[in-house]
Amino acid sequence: MDEITALAKRRGFIFPSSEIYGGISGAWDYGPLGVELKRNVREAWWRDIVALRDDVVGVETAILMSPEVWRASGHLEHFFDLMVDCRSCKKRFRADQVTGPRCPACGNPTLTEPRSFNMMFKTYIGAMEDATSVAYLRPETAQGIFTDFKLVYQTARRKPPFGIAQIGKAFRNEITPGNFIFRSREFEQMELEYFVRPQPREEGRRWFDYWVEERYAWFLRLGIQSERLRRRAYSGDELAHYSQATTDIEYDFPFGWAELEGIAHRGTFDLEQHVRGSGKDLSFFDEETKEKYLPAVIEPSLGVDRACLVFLLDAYEREADRTVLHLHPRLAPIKVAVFPLVRNKPEIVELAVTVERGLRPHVRTAFDDSGNVGKRYYRQDEVGTPLCVTVDYDSLTNQDVTVRDRDTKQQVRVSIDRLPSYVRDRLDQA
Ligand code: ATP
């Protein structure tokens, strides 16, 4: 974890927020390479969950919502963690992280009783700071989907089974943020609410199983090593009272197995709560069968930042002579780096610039003419660039270039006019 955190900072993936002021706990900034990685992660999810399917539509709802939403959803009443403080060393822990009467940090038996603590960030809307103007930063993106459910199915003319997907920021005042970007206070979620008929119950169960498998396979398709990924079904007493089934997809983090994504069969709980809270009828009316019902929902929920962390950790390898990120080409921040073999031969530099400009409309590129070619390969391997292209003396006469593969280090000659289609084929094949 320390190595990934250091690499992420050194190469411009991820930095602590407001670092020049000593940082702020639980918030992170994405640098030039990190922002590309993060966009690619979102894009991979959106493409597979929304764009390539005909049963899912997307939305982007506001972070600020009526406080009534959080009363109805149960967040005002139930979204809290239990914390304990140590009277000696003043450290604070989540109650579920403490076993026994002693402080995990200093070892003294000076822990307070657990106290509950609502994890929603509170703010005020408008000029008056009083009870009537209280609002909350959303702790999950899902509620915007539930409140808009009717507007979406009517305007998009969908009927169950169908899903509504959203990517956006969420905020939780976590007691113990940490493990780099694994747990932060400001983060981003990618959530799908997939609405199904509540009866027969097997239908919901089938869709739940489908989404568990689909989401598990998604990580494998994007190159995650299968021995570091597992599905863990919740036992009866772990389930939230409204949940009919929950399975976490867990990853073998450096600090142990932990949740990467959760898939929950939430039944009709959420829509029922909003019917009660708003007094509005949110049921679905099927014109064909004349049936009216409140759909049940299956929810796969994944943190963008947590996914970025897993893709980085899983891709990271230190070999004898280099550090390499074996990122899937869809996720790599830079797809192709172009080098002129030497800097002092204008024809070569010019041709390399032309080659790089030719690739730009197709894929994310970089140009590097500093140091020797070995150093440039090293720098690109370390940030996961799948292909490096070198323009050399022979390129001037033969109009071809050397393409070198990140993982195998193999090199092939490719003619310049075929290069864009060659690159696209290579990246698509992965
Ligand atoms: P935990 O038990 O770890 O606090 P949770 O079960 O409350 O997590 P969910 O509410 O199921 O988490 O959130 C869905 C997903 O959102 C998680 O699987 C994770 O990927 C992401 N996520 C949740 N909280 C955070 C956080 N504080 N920082 C980063 N990602 C988070």
Contact 168/58 with Cβ under 8 angstroms? no
pLDDT in tens, the chain (430 residues): 999 999 999 999 999 999 999 999 999 999 999 999 999 999 999 999 999 999 999 999 999 999 999 999 999 998 988 889 999 999 988 888 888 889 999 999 999 988 888 899 999 999 888 888 999 999 999 999 999 999 999 999 999 999 999 999 999 999 889 999 999 999 999 999 999 999 999 999 999 999 999 999 999 999 999 999 999 999 989 998 889 999 999 999 999 999 999 999 999 999 999 999 999 999 999 989 999 999 999 999 999 999 999 999 999 999 999 999 999 999 999 999 999 999 999 999 999 999 999 999 999 999 999 989 999 999 999 999 999 999 999 999 999 999 999 999 999 999 999 999 999 999 987 6
Report residue 215 as tokens. 């989401």
Pocket flag, ligand 1, residue 38 (CB < 6 Å):
no
pLDDT, residue 392, reads: 97
Confirm or reject: Cβ of 141 under 6 Å from ligand 1: no
Protein residue whose Cα sits closest to atom 8 of ligand 1 = 259
**Number of the ligand 1 atom closest to the C-alpha atom of 248:** 18
Query: What pLDDT is attached to residue 127?
Result: 87
For residue 80, what pLDDT is reported?
A: 86
**What is the topology classification, in CATH, of domain 2-67+120-314?**
BirA Bifunctional Protein; domain 2 (3.30.930)
Q: How far is the CA of 12 from the centre of ligand 1 (A)?
A: 25
Residue 188 CA to ligand 1 center (angstroms) comes to: 10
Rounded to the nearest angstrom, the distance between the alpha carbon of 62 and the centre of ligand 1 is 19
Indicate whether residue 183 lines ligand 1 (CB < 6 A).
yes
Q: What's residue 430's pLDDT?
A: 65
Q: What's the pLDDT at 20?
A: 97
Mutate to test the pocket of ligand 1, among 121, 181, 183 (most ligand atoms within 8 A of CB): 183
Domain 334-429 part of CATH 3.40.50.720? no
Q: Is 180 in the pocket of ligand 1 (CB under 6 A)?
A: no
CA distance 368 to 77: 55
pLDDT at 65: 97
Choose one of 78, 176, 187 to mutate for the ligand 1 pocket test, by most ligand atoms within 8 angstroms of C-beta: 187
Position 209 scores a pLDDT of 98
